[in-house]
Amino acid sequence: MARMSQPPVAAACYRHPDRPTYIACQRCGRPICGDCMISAAVGFQCPDCVRQGARETRQNQLPFGGLQVANSALTSIVLIALNVAVWVVIMLTGGQGSRWVQWLALSGHGYCGSLSDPSSYYPQAGAAACARLTDGTWLPGALDGAWWQVLTSGFTHVQPMHIGLNMLALWFLGPPLERILGRGRFLALYLLSLLAGSAAVLWLLPTAQSTLGASGAVFGLLGALLVLTVKTKGDLNNVLIWLGINLVATFLVPGISWQAHVGGLIGGLIASAIIMFAPRQNRTAHQVAGLAALGLAIAGLLVGRLFVS
């Protein structure tokens, strides 16, 4: 005989005992009715917790130590503008065959490209042999000295759908996180996630292949959203469903760099945990030290990859 689950039981609002409710304050857990619930970063809080939070938080200071800004979407707008500007340059200079793609995308080892046909290359020619070819031009990879690629690849796109989806995700995730974290902490989160994705690519992807796109940084923002939900004791279901769908697509859709996605996600989880779980006393100092240590660890992975190539 099938078991039937019990329906949820309504509780009385702690301020209005005559009003049943199914909503609880995300901070203290007390039941609150529609007149008492106040929208918070995740979920709802009761009036007492909102007042307590206002007393505990200094004027213009955000929950995790950042300062309020007039436009919390500005950093995301600048990042989107940089991505679009690079994409426009690539489109105007040949699209997939543009030399800008070859210089900015992340590849392990370099290769000998063709001067007359940017879409062709000489697979057997090393740097020395390429220099002797009248039609050859050596295009270095990150392990050959083009270290800028670990950063520039995160601002490089070719396909319109690729940049469109990444920028749409950045637009939805970026401003809410910047509003909670502050501009500096949000930018640190974004860039560290991007670099963590690049480190994972260099270690896990064959060095003959190349990757590009902001997906690693975007997955880092998804990781930050997950940590924020845990920190504020919010509803994890929607976040986990969204993250799960993106991870499934990462491994099932051909042509997607799962290495960049997973690396960026891990980087975002760690960076956001450093920011959000730093002790209240000397919080900024702890955050700066933790983020600097994470940056050094990622740099160590990038440099270490050079010695095992």
Do 41 and 152 fall within a single domain?
no
Residue 234 covered by a domain:
yes
Do 290 and 171 fall within a single domain?
yes
pLDDT confidence of residue 113: 75
Do 41 and 78 fall within a single domain?
no
pLDDT in tens, 230-264: 999 888 888 899 899 989 988 988 888 899 999 99
User: pTM (2 decimals)?
Assistant: 0.77
Query: Could you tell me how many residues make up the chain?
Result: 309
Residue 173 covered by a domain:
yes
Do 202 and 273 fall within a single domain?
yes
Residues taking part in catalysis: 215, 261
Do 15 and 82 fall within a single domain?
no
Do 25 and 158 fall within a single domain?
no
Residue 68 covered by a domain:
no
Residue 88 covered by a domain:
yes
pLDDT confidence of residue 309: 60
pLDDT confidence of residue 61: 80
What are the phi and psi torsion angles at 233 (to 5°)? Answer: 55, 45
Instruction: Give the structural domain span for 196.
Output: 74-103+147-306
Do 15 and 99 fall within a single domain?
no
Q: Do 106 and 212 contact (CB within 8 A), yes or no? A: yes
Residuewise pLDDT in 10s, the chain (309 residues): 445 555 566 788 999 989 988 888 888 889 999 889 888 766 789 998 888 776 655 557 888 988 888 898 999 999 999 999 999 999 999 888 888 998 899 988 877 777 777 666 777 677 778 777 777 777 888 888 899 999 999 999 999 999 999 999 999 999 999 999 999 999 999 999 999 999 999 999 877 678 999 999 999 999 999 999 999 988 888 889 989 998 998 898 888 889 999 999 999 999 999 999 999 889 999 999 999 999 999 999 999 998 876
Residue 55 covered by a domain:
no
Do 80 and 42 fall within a single domain?
no
CATH label of the domain that carries residue 207: 1.20.1540.10
